[in-house]
Chains A and B, each alone.
Chain A
Amino acid sequence: MLEAIHAWMDSVAGGDPFIAGVLTVAWTLVKILSVLLPLVICVAFYTLAERKVIGFMQVRIGPNRVGPFGLLQPFADVVKLLMKEIIVPSGANKGLFIIAPLLTLAPAFAAWAVVPFDAGVALADVNAGLLYILAMTSLTVYGVIVGGWASNSKYGFLGALRSAAQIVSYEIAMGFAIVCVLLVSHSMNFGEIVNAQQGGFFSWNWLPLLPMLVVYFVSGLAETNRAPFDLPEGESEIVAGYFVEYAGAPFALYFLAEYADMILVSLLTAVLFFGGWLSPFPESWGLLGASSFVWLLVKTAFFMFAFLWVRATFPRFRYDQVMRLGWKVFIPLTIVWVVVTAALVKGGVI
């Protein structure tokens, strides 16, 4: 089908570089939409799943009024948020206040450009994919800091400062955990990282890199400001942290970016440590043993569930505990583990 589209584009352009350029841009836009639209819908239902799952864990029912089993609740929420007035606080830095949610959302979406969905299926299958994702996720912090500062509010500013410190600290541990993965798979390309894990459940990276899996997932929780590391939001102390002054559509953008990042971290955990689209079963099992997009979906869904599970289970950390875990436990641990992994790879153990 892809060849047919390319052939059709060539026939329409007829050798004219301008029309060919326009068609390429249009086709790229279609591809981008085909990634982002399912992502946004996924975010919408993830918010519903969050309320349902946590409701179940706390022996409640959760939303069940809008549509069958509350399935239309996300759409009701979206309509509600979009209809609300956008309030700009007095004394706020107006330009930055409006631009801040976009600064968080744009990198959160841009990161999906290199995310792999199956062997060779990605918007851009680049060599330095892993590095690109790290760079993009490190940019989301700007929206948080700028939003907190621009809203001219003490709570917002405190939330922004907490968030900046937390994200910068945990990024280091996350980076080292990823360095271990690329040491083992000899590549920063997602396709090659997954291919290096071929051979069933016990040849996936989670077994040799178990401590790094834990570090990566916990750092992922901290990077996305999720419980138990949700101090930047901290409802019970600083009201809602950096987005306390935001209402309506800009608030919805922050929300969208946070959930898109959570899905990204879940998907990356599946790709980096759990074999991506590879099947856990031997190839002789027919359809169950074949590697496919569905396996990646299942694994990602499990880690998305784990995000909610953790939120319903653990109380919030104290701020000094967050910093201690990041700087005094994770960073030394990961630095040592990078050396250990490098030695094991050199010795041919992994």
Chain B
Amino acid sequence: MADYEIFSCPQFSNKVLIILFEGVQNNAEIKSELLKGNRDYDYAFVNCDNIASQEQVYSALYKALLDDLLGQTKSKTLHSEIIFDLSPLKNIVESLNKFGISSTSTNIIALKVLSDSQIDNVATYVDNLKQRVKGSVVHFDQANLSRFTNFAQLKKNYKLTNISTEDVEELTRILVGLTQLKGT
């Protein structure tokens, strides 16, 4: 099994590289390099606490790629837009803090949007990422994501505390809807 995944959908030519890391130790370092704008860290780093399923992530990627195509992105880069679309918040900085990498998040999804020409060199981006992130690469699948979900945190951040279910499918439907309706 490959240790990374390439997301694509029929409507867009851009693809997205997805790698899931477990037990990341240098998250403070990554965060500070991100803030410095270091190009080697030009990825979207998503905190797994708030992620229930792959569909939730894919839905945000779709939304970000669509808004990018229509020229309607709200944040500075496409990578911050992905994190912004995952969050239900209106404030971009707050979204990045809660849904992006933070000092407490040790399980992280790294995402990178790649154009057609970049996709040929995908190995470079994967290798670079593995050097920068000190954690073990695990397969991006439902079983691993479920291990990392922090339901209390997720419900708090999505303001779903009145919903008792921890059923991944039920939550996914709600979260997908929230992402798609973002900004309306």
Asked if chains A and B come from one complex, the reply is no
